[in-house]
Amino acid sequence: MIDPRIYEMFREIGEDLYSAQMISSHGGNLSIRLGDRVIIKRRGAQLGRLKPHDLIETRLDKNDSGVALASTELLVHRTVYMNTPALAICHCHPRTAVAFSLSRDELVPIDNEASYLLKKIPVVTEEFASGTPQMANKVAEALKNYKIIMLRGHGSFATGQTLDEAFHWSSTLEESCQIELATKVINEPFIEYRGMSGSYTKF
């Protein structure tokens, strides 16, 4: 039985992800680490409409009951937990960020909030499908030094101590990309307002 407070946290953030259009009806994923256990969304469940039975609890290091129902991305989440200090993961498909990831090797924010919070978001490429060990290793490796990363053409993986924190980085990234997209529409010369922003790519 999963603690109702934990379910509530998943439900709220799942709903927010969907209403912010950061996932499709069945896309994205959330998980948290509790000691040596992981709680993750059930395979096929909709993040925007989570029910208590949509959450699966399993061991971090190996399978036990219920794992057959867990999301196909369980391996990625486990690999991240075993290789970083993350205690929560938010994986979503923020549209504008995904679009930018198709032409860039890193996303460097121009708005204040993301400049302040993220500095730089690396984009990694992985041809193998979601849930494969290759992809899991690549994502975990990138998250060793960045709290949020983009998988090219796919979506973002963000880590934090809580789901709230991981969601915070995710929505900050998408907001930043939307702002940049808007500046492309406005198409006027950029006025730099930040100090040392030239160094962001070195973050």
Residues that bind another protein (CB under 8 A): 3, 5, 32-37, 83-85, 87, 116, 119, 144-147, 160-162, 164-165, 195-196, 199, 202-203
> What's the closest the beta carbon of residue 144 comes to another protein, in angstroms?
4
Give φ, ψ of 172 to 5 degrees: -65, -40
- 98 or 121: CB nearest another protein: 121
Closest alpha carbon to 88 in 148, 164, 18, 37:
164
Could you tell me the CA-to-CA distances from 41 to 32, 44, 176, 197 in Å, in that order? Answer: 10, 8, 27, 38
Angle between helices 4-19 and 163-186 (to 10 degrees): 10
- 43 or 120: CB nearest another protein: 120
Distance in angstroms (rounded) separating the CA atoms of residues 45 and 7: 14
- 15 or 95: CB nearest another protein: 15
The rounded Cα 10 to chain-centroid distance in angstroms is 14
- 8 or 129: CB nearest another protein: 8
> What's the closest the beta carbon of residue 181 comes to another protein, in angstroms?
23
> What's the closest the beta carbon of residue 99 comes to another protein, in angstroms?
26
> What's the closest the beta carbon of residue 147 comes to another protein, in angstroms?
7
